[in-house]
Amino acid sequence: MERGTGYTHHSTVQAQGFKDGEAKIKQAMARNALLVDPSLEVIRVADLGCSHGSNAIHAVDFVAREIIELRDLKLSSSSSSSLEIQAIFSDITANDFNTLFSLVPHLQGKPYFFSGVPGSFYLRLFPRSSIHFAMTTFALHSLSKIPEEITNKESPAWNKGTMYIDRSSPQAAIEAVVRQAKEDLQNFLQCRAQELVTGGLLVSKFLIRTTRDLEGPLHNGFQEAWKDLIQEGIISQESLDTFNFPVYFRSCHEVQDALDSVKEEFKVIHREVSKVQIPPRQPSDSMRAFKAISKPFIEQHVGDEKIVELMYSRSLSKELRSRDLFSMLLVLEKKEFIVI
C-alpha cells in the first residue's frame, strides 16, 4: 500500500465491505463458546493483511468491543472485567506500521493492547495455538508472488504486453497463476489451522469472481497510460512485458477446493457471496484508490518515481472500464489441535 494516509483516504470500498459483513460476524461470535470461556484471561485477536488505514482500527475495535459485550452479557462481572485483549496487526514488512499505530484512538489496554507483527500471511506468523480470533479483509486476492514463467520471454506462459492475467492471456500463464493462487490459499488456511486455538474463529472477506472465466482488468486506464508512455519513448516496452500485477480473484469453486484441503481442521460456520457496494464517485477517485494499492508494486518495478507519477496522472484522462465486483464472507471455526 502507498505509504502515509493515501490508503486511508481512498479505501471506502474496503471499509463498506467490512461493515456489510458485521451483522453476520456478530452472529458467529455470539454462537462461539470460546469467546465467553470464563477461564480465559487473555484473548488474542489478529488482523492479517491489515495495511495502515483506519479500516484496520475499525475492524479490530468492532471485534474487541463485541467480545467485551458478549462476556458482560453471559459471564459474571469478575470473569468479564478480568479479561485482557491483545490485538495484533500484521502485514508485510513494507507496511507503514507507524501510520497505522498513530491512528489508534486510545491508550494501550483501553480496551485492548496492540502490537504489530510483520510478515506474509501465507506463512506462519504466530506460535501454535496462540490466536483466538483471526481475520483478514480484502487482502486474499493478493498473491504471494507472480510465477517466474509469466515474465520469462522464453516461456510459453510469458504474458507480454499487459500487466494483468485475464482471458486474453496465454493458457500457460493462466494455469500458472491458478496454481499459485491455489497454493497460496491452502498455505493461508494451513498456517491459521496451526495458529488458532481449538474453537477459535477465522473470518475472511475477500474479492472473488462469480464465473469460471477470467474477466478483463479493473483499471484498464492505467495500462493504457503506460502504453502511451512507451509509444512516446519515455519508458521501455520491456517495462510492461516484465510486469504483472500480483492479484487474482478466485472462483467459488477454487475457494471450495482449498476448504476441502482443510476440512479436518476447520468447520464452515458461515459463507456467503454478495455484490460489493461501491459508492458513487468520480473516475479520479477510482484511480486514486487504485494508486493507493498499486503504487508500491509499480514503483519498485519501474524504479523512477517521476515516471510512475506521470503514469497515474495520464491515466486520469482515460475511460475506466466498469464492472460489478463480488466478495465472499467466510467464517471458519477451528475443530481441534493438529500436530504437524
Model confidence over 87-129: pLDDT tens digits?
Answer: 999 999 988 899 999 988 888 888 899 999 999 999 999 999 9
Whether pLDDT at 277 is above 90 = no
Question: By C-alpha distance, which of 245, 131, 250 is closest to 186?
Answer: 250
**pTM across the whole model:** 0.89
Confidence class for position 214, pLDDT limits 50, 70, 90: confident
What is residue 321's predicted lDDT score, i.e. its pLDDT? 63
Alpha-carbon distance of 172 to 313, in angstroms, equals 33
> Residue 28: pLDDT band by 50, 70, 90 thresholds?
very high
CA distance 247 to 184: 12
At residue 155 the predicted structure's pLDDT band, cuts being 50, 70 and 90, is very high
Rounded average pLDDT over 55-72: 93
1, pLDDT greater than 60: no
What's the count of helices (H) and strands (E) in the chain, helices before strands? Answer: 11, 8
Under the banding of pLDDT at 50, 70 and 90, the label for residue 216 is low
**Size of the chain in residues:** 340
Identify the CA nearest to 219 among candidates 177, 182, 247.
247
**Contact present, 337 and 198 (Cβ < 8 Å):** yes
Is the domain 6-334 a CATH 3.30.365.10 member? no
- For the chain, the first-to-last Cα distance in angstroms comes to 34
> What pLDDT is attached to residue 11?
55
9 pLDDT band (50/70/90 cuts)? very low
Residue 203's nearest CA partner among 33, 15, 24 is: 24
CB 158 within 8 A of CB 170: yes
- E-strand stretches of 224-312: 250-251, 266-275
Pairing outcome for strands 84-91 and 250-251: unpaired
Q: CB count, 10 Å around CB of 132?
A: 24
Contacts of 192 (CB under 8 A, 6+ apart): 131, 134, 202
Model confidence pLDDT, tens digit, residues 180-202: 999 999 999 999 999 999 999 99
pLDDT tens digits for range 224-251: 899 999 999 999 999 999 999 899 999 9
Specify whether the CB–CB gap between 246 and 146 falls below 8 A: yes
Is residue 44 scored above 70 in pLDDT? Answer: yes
Q: Are 121 and 188 in contact (CB under 8 A)?
A: yes
What distance in Å separates the CA atoms of residue 93 and residue 119, rounded to the nearest whole number? 6
Under 8 Å between Cβ of 195 and 119: no
Whether the per-residue pLDDT at 278 is higher than 80: the answer is no
pLDDT interval class at 217 (50, 70, 90): low
Query: Residues 21, 25, 27, CA angle at the centre, nearest 5°?
Result: 120
